Amino acid sequence: MLPKPRSPKTASASAEPVAAAVTAPPAKTKPKRKVAKTPAARARRDMKPAEVREFLLDLARAWPDARTELVYTTPFSLLVAVVLSAQATDASVNRVTPALFAAAPTPAAMVALGEEAVAQLIRTIGLWRSKAHNVVELSRQLLTEHDGTVPSTREALEKLAGVGRKTANVVLSVAFEKPTVPVDTHVFRLANRSGLGRGRTVEAVEKALERRIPEDMKQESHHWMILQGRYVCKARKPECWRCAAQTPCLYPDKTPLPAPPRRPSTTA
Protein backbone atom coordinates (compact mmCIF):
# COMPACT_ATOMS: atom_id res chain seq x y z
CA MET A 1 0.00 0.00 0.00
CA LEU A 2 1.43 3.30 -1.02
CA PRO A 3 1.95 5.93 1.75
CA LYS A 4 -0.29 8.99 1.69
CA PRO A 5 1.46 12.09 0.51
CA ARG A 6 2.25 14.55 3.32
CA SER A 7 0.27 17.77 3.39
CA PRO A 8 2.30 20.98 3.69
CA LYS A 9 2.78 22.26 7.25
CA THR A 10 0.72 25.20 8.33
CA ALA A 11 1.74 27.68 10.96
CA SER A 12 0.03 27.24 14.31
CA ALA A 13 -2.07 29.98 15.81
CA SER A 14 0.45 30.52 18.59
CA ALA A 15 3.44 30.96 16.28
CA GLU A 16 4.91 34.44 15.84
CA PRO A 17 4.17 35.84 12.42
CA VAL A 18 7.24 36.38 10.26
CA ALA A 19 7.59 40.04 9.48
CA ALA A 20 8.30 40.98 5.96
CA ALA A 21 11.71 42.49 5.39
CA VAL A 22 11.21 46.22 5.20
CA THR A 23 14.00 48.59 4.27
CA ALA A 24 14.00 51.46 6.75
CA PRO A 25 14.37 54.95 5.29
CA PRO A 26 17.81 56.46 5.85
CA ALA A 27 18.01 58.48 9.08
CA LYS A 28 18.09 62.19 8.56
CA THR A 29 21.47 63.59 9.53
CA LYS A 30 21.51 66.98 11.17
CA PRO A 31 23.73 69.50 9.45
CA LYS A 32 26.93 70.07 11.35
CA ARG A 33 26.95 73.26 13.35
CA LYS A 34 29.70 75.65 12.52
CA VAL A 35 31.88 76.05 15.58
CA ALA A 36 33.45 79.46 15.97
CA LYS A 37 37.20 79.40 15.96
CA THR A 38 38.57 80.02 19.43
CA PRO A 39 41.12 82.84 19.33
CA ALA A 40 44.63 81.88 20.33
CA ALA A 41 45.58 82.78 23.87
CA ARG A 42 49.11 83.69 22.90
CA ALA A 43 51.56 84.15 20.07
CA ARG A 44 53.09 81.08 18.46
CA ARG A 45 56.64 82.26 19.12
CA ASP A 46 58.60 84.84 21.07
CA MET A 47 59.56 88.12 19.49
CA LYS A 48 63.09 88.57 18.24
CA PRO A 49 65.16 91.33 19.92
CA ALA A 50 64.51 93.79 17.09
CA GLU A 51 60.78 93.10 17.29
CA VAL A 52 60.80 93.63 21.08
CA ARG A 53 62.38 97.06 20.70
CA GLU A 54 60.03 98.05 17.86
CA PHE A 55 56.99 96.90 19.85
CA LEU A 56 58.00 98.88 22.95
CA LEU A 57 58.87 101.99 20.93
CA ASP A 58 55.39 101.86 19.42
CA LEU A 59 53.88 101.62 22.91
CA ALA A 60 56.06 104.50 24.12
CA ARG A 61 54.71 106.69 21.32
CA ALA A 62 51.15 105.60 22.13
CA TRP A 63 51.55 106.35 25.86
CA PRO A 64 54.08 109.22 26.11
CA ASP A 65 52.94 110.31 29.57
CA ALA A 66 52.45 106.84 31.04
CA ARG A 67 52.58 106.55 34.81
CA THR A 68 50.72 104.71 37.53
CA GLU A 69 47.07 105.71 37.78
CA LEU A 70 47.11 105.31 41.57
CA VAL A 71 47.17 108.62 43.43
CA TYR A 72 50.01 108.86 45.98
CA THR A 73 52.43 111.39 47.46
CA THR A 74 55.02 109.32 49.37
CA PRO A 75 56.50 105.82 49.16
CA PHE A 76 54.26 104.87 52.10
CA SER A 77 51.05 106.09 50.44
CA LEU A 78 52.10 104.32 47.22
CA LEU A 79 52.70 101.08 49.12
CA VAL A 80 49.29 101.26 50.79
CA ALA A 81 47.54 102.14 47.53
CA VAL A 82 49.11 99.20 45.69
CA VAL A 83 48.14 96.81 48.50
CA LEU A 84 44.56 98.11 48.30
CA SER A 85 44.50 97.70 44.51
CA ALA A 86 44.71 93.90 44.61
CA GLN A 87 41.56 92.58 42.88
CA ALA A 88 40.24 96.13 42.67
CA THR A 89 40.45 98.87 40.08
CA ASP A 90 42.77 101.83 40.48
CA ALA A 91 39.75 104.12 40.17
CA SER A 92 38.01 102.45 43.13
CA VAL A 93 41.18 102.77 45.22
CA ASN A 94 41.57 106.44 44.31
CA ARG A 95 38.07 107.09 45.63
CA VAL A 96 38.93 105.89 49.15
CA THR A 97 42.57 106.88 49.64
CA PRO A 98 42.12 110.69 49.98
CA ALA A 99 40.12 110.26 53.20
CA LEU A 100 42.38 107.43 54.38
CA PHE A 101 45.62 109.38 53.88
CA ALA A 102 44.10 112.54 55.37
CA ALA A 103 43.41 110.54 58.53
CA ALA A 104 46.66 108.52 58.45
CA PRO A 105 49.47 109.90 56.29
CA THR A 106 52.24 107.97 58.10
CA PRO A 107 52.75 104.43 59.42
CA ALA A 108 52.43 105.70 63.02
CA ALA A 109 49.16 107.45 62.23
CA MET A 110 47.84 104.35 60.46
CA VAL A 111 48.56 102.15 63.50
CA ALA A 112 46.94 104.74 65.78
CA LEU A 113 43.88 104.89 63.51
CA GLY A 114 43.36 101.16 63.96
CA GLU A 115 41.99 98.34 61.87
CA GLU A 116 38.27 99.04 62.39
CA ALA A 117 38.53 102.71 61.41
CA VAL A 118 40.63 101.85 58.35
CA ALA A 119 38.06 99.22 57.36
CA GLN A 120 35.24 101.75 57.46
CA LEU A 121 37.18 104.15 55.23
CA ILE A 122 37.91 101.52 52.55
CA ARG A 123 34.76 99.40 52.72
CA THR A 124 33.70 100.19 49.13
CA ILE A 125 36.60 98.17 47.65
CA GLY A 126 36.84 94.40 47.45
CA LEU A 127 38.31 92.40 50.37
CA TRP A 128 38.22 95.50 52.55
CA ARG A 129 38.35 93.60 55.84
CA SER A 130 41.55 91.70 55.07
CA LYS A 131 43.08 94.75 53.40
CA ALA A 132 42.42 96.88 56.48
CA HIS A 133 44.21 94.28 58.58
CA ASN A 134 47.18 94.19 56.19
CA VAL A 135 47.50 97.97 55.98
CA VAL A 136 47.63 98.36 59.75
CA GLU A 137 49.94 95.38 60.18
CA LEU A 138 52.42 96.48 57.51
CA SER A 139 52.44 99.94 59.11
CA ARG A 140 53.34 98.31 62.44
CA GLN A 141 56.09 96.32 60.72
CA LEU A 142 57.50 99.47 59.13
CA LEU A 143 57.72 101.08 62.58
CA THR A 144 59.30 98.13 64.37
CA GLU A 145 61.57 96.83 61.62
CA HIS A 146 62.39 99.80 59.35
CA ASP A 147 62.17 102.93 61.53
CA GLY A 148 58.94 103.96 59.82
CA THR A 149 60.38 104.03 56.29
CA VAL A 150 59.52 101.90 53.27
CA PRO A 151 62.39 99.50 52.44
CA SER A 152 63.92 99.59 48.96
CA THR A 153 64.61 95.88 48.44
CA ARG A 154 62.26 93.20 47.16
CA GLU A 155 63.15 90.80 49.96
CA ALA A 156 62.25 93.30 52.69
CA LEU A 157 59.08 94.45 50.95
CA GLU A 158 57.78 90.92 50.47
CA LYS A 159 58.01 90.31 54.23
CA LEU A 160 55.39 93.01 54.85
CA ALA A 161 51.74 92.04 55.36
CA GLY A 162 49.78 91.92 52.12
CA VAL A 163 52.82 92.52 49.90
CA GLY A 164 53.53 90.02 47.14
CA ARG A 165 56.02 90.04 44.32
CA LYS A 166 53.96 92.27 42.02
CA THR A 167 53.33 94.87 44.74
CA ALA A 168 57.01 94.88 45.66
CA ASN A 169 58.00 95.38 42.03
CA VAL A 170 55.58 98.30 41.59
CA VAL A 171 56.98 100.06 44.67
CA LEU A 172 60.56 99.44 43.58
CA SER A 173 59.88 100.73 40.07
CA VAL A 174 57.68 103.73 40.87
CA ALA A 175 58.99 104.91 44.25
CA PHE A 176 62.67 103.99 43.85
CA GLU A 177 63.02 104.00 40.02
CA LYS A 178 64.51 100.52 39.94
CA PRO A 179 64.39 98.54 36.67
CA THR A 180 61.82 95.94 37.71
CA VAL A 181 58.96 94.61 35.57
CA PRO A 182 55.75 94.23 37.61
CA VAL A 183 53.40 91.71 36.00
CA ASP A 184 49.70 92.13 36.67
CA THR A 185 46.83 90.54 34.74
CA HIS A 186 47.10 93.14 31.95
CA VAL A 187 50.84 92.71 31.43
CA PHE A 188 50.51 88.91 31.63
CA ARG A 189 47.87 88.91 28.89
CA LEU A 190 49.70 91.40 26.66
CA ALA A 191 53.07 89.64 26.93
CA ASN A 192 51.60 86.26 26.01
CA ARG A 193 49.38 87.50 23.19
CA SER A 194 52.02 89.61 21.52
CA GLY A 195 55.00 87.29 21.97
CA LEU A 196 56.83 89.91 24.00
CA GLY A 197 57.46 87.40 26.77
CA ARG A 198 55.43 84.21 26.90
CA GLY A 199 54.95 82.10 30.01
CA ARG A 200 52.41 79.93 31.81
CA THR A 201 52.79 81.69 35.16
CA VAL A 202 53.19 85.28 36.29
CA GLU A 203 56.71 84.60 37.51
CA ALA A 204 57.66 82.95 34.20
CA VAL A 205 56.41 85.98 32.27
CA GLU A 206 58.23 88.33 34.65
CA LYS A 207 61.51 86.50 34.14
CA ALA A 208 61.01 86.44 30.37
CA LEU A 209 60.33 90.18 30.27
CA GLU A 210 63.28 91.03 32.51
CA ARG A 211 65.49 88.98 30.21
CA ARG A 212 64.12 90.30 26.92
CA ILE A 213 63.31 93.99 27.50
CA PRO A 214 66.30 96.27 26.79
CA GLU A 215 67.81 97.72 29.93
CA ASP A 216 67.20 101.33 28.85
CA MET A 217 63.46 100.64 28.47
CA LYS A 218 62.88 98.42 31.48
CA GLN A 219 61.95 101.01 34.11
CA GLU A 220 59.24 102.72 32.03
CA SER A 221 58.01 99.80 29.94
CA HIS A 222 55.67 98.34 32.53
CA HIS A 223 53.58 101.55 32.50
CA TRP A 224 53.22 101.28 28.71
CA MET A 225 52.26 97.62 28.95
CA ILE A 226 49.73 98.10 31.76
CA LEU A 227 47.91 100.90 29.94
CA GLN A 228 48.00 99.04 26.62
CA GLY A 229 46.61 95.89 28.25
CA ARG A 230 43.98 97.77 30.22
CA TYR A 231 42.60 99.96 27.44
CA VAL A 232 43.49 98.29 24.11
CA CYS A 233 44.58 94.64 24.47
CA LYS A 234 41.49 93.84 26.52
CA ALA A 235 40.66 90.46 28.02
CA ARG A 236 37.42 89.65 26.19
CA LYS A 237 38.40 91.00 22.79
CA PRO A 238 41.58 92.93 21.96
CA GLU A 239 40.94 96.11 19.99
CA CYS A 240 43.70 95.36 17.52
CA TRP A 241 42.40 97.81 14.91
CA ARG A 242 43.51 100.72 17.11
CA CYS A 243 46.72 99.21 18.46
CA ALA A 244 49.84 101.29 17.79
CA ALA A 245 52.02 98.15 17.78
CA GLN A 246 50.12 96.00 15.27
CA THR A 247 53.10 95.39 13.01
CA PRO A 248 55.56 93.80 15.48
CA CYS A 249 52.76 92.09 17.48
CA LEU A 250 52.68 88.34 16.79
CA TYR A 251 49.10 87.69 17.94
CA PRO A 252 47.66 85.43 15.20
CA ASP A 253 43.95 86.29 15.59
CA LYS A 254 43.96 90.07 15.35
CA THR A 255 40.52 91.63 15.74
CA PRO A 256 39.46 93.53 12.60
CA LEU A 257 37.86 96.94 12.56
CA PRO A 258 34.16 96.52 13.49
CA ALA A 259 31.64 97.26 10.77
CA PRO A 260 29.90 100.62 11.15
CA PRO A 261 26.35 100.45 12.54
CA ARG A 262 23.65 100.19 9.91
CA ARG A 263 21.61 103.33 9.36
CA PRO A 264 17.86 102.94 9.81
CA SER A 265 15.89 102.86 6.59
CA THR A 266 14.33 106.18 5.60
CA THR A 267 11.77 104.64 3.25
CA ALA A 268 8.12 104.77 4.29
- Which residues are identified as catalytic? 166, 184
189, 232 contact by CB (below 8 A): no
Handedness of CA 82, 85, 91, 92 (dihedral sign): negative
Q: What does DSSP assign to residue 187?
A: H
Pairwise CA distance, residues 55 & 44, whole Å: 16
Q: Are 183 and 206 in contact (CB under 8 A)?
A: yes
Q: Is the distance from CB of 195 to CB of 46 less than 8 angstroms?
A: yes
Q: Is the dihedral of CA 128, 133, 139, 145 positive or negative?
A: negative
Which residues, including other chains, have CB under 8 Å from residue 214's CB and lie 6 or more apart? Answer: 52, 53, 56
Say how far apart CA 194 and CA 43 lie, in whole Å.
6
Q: Residues 170, 175, 179, CA angle at the centre, nearest 5°?
A: 60
Which of 37, 66, 47 lies closest to 232, judged by CA? 66
Query: Which amino acid is residue 225, in one-letter code?
Result: M
Continuous H helices in 87-127? 90-103, 107-113, 115-121
The helix (run of H) or strand (run of E) holding residue 234 is none
Question: C-alpha angle 34/38/43, rounded to 5°?
Answer: 145
Q: How far apart (Å, rounded) are the C-alpha atoms in residues 179 and 194? A: 21
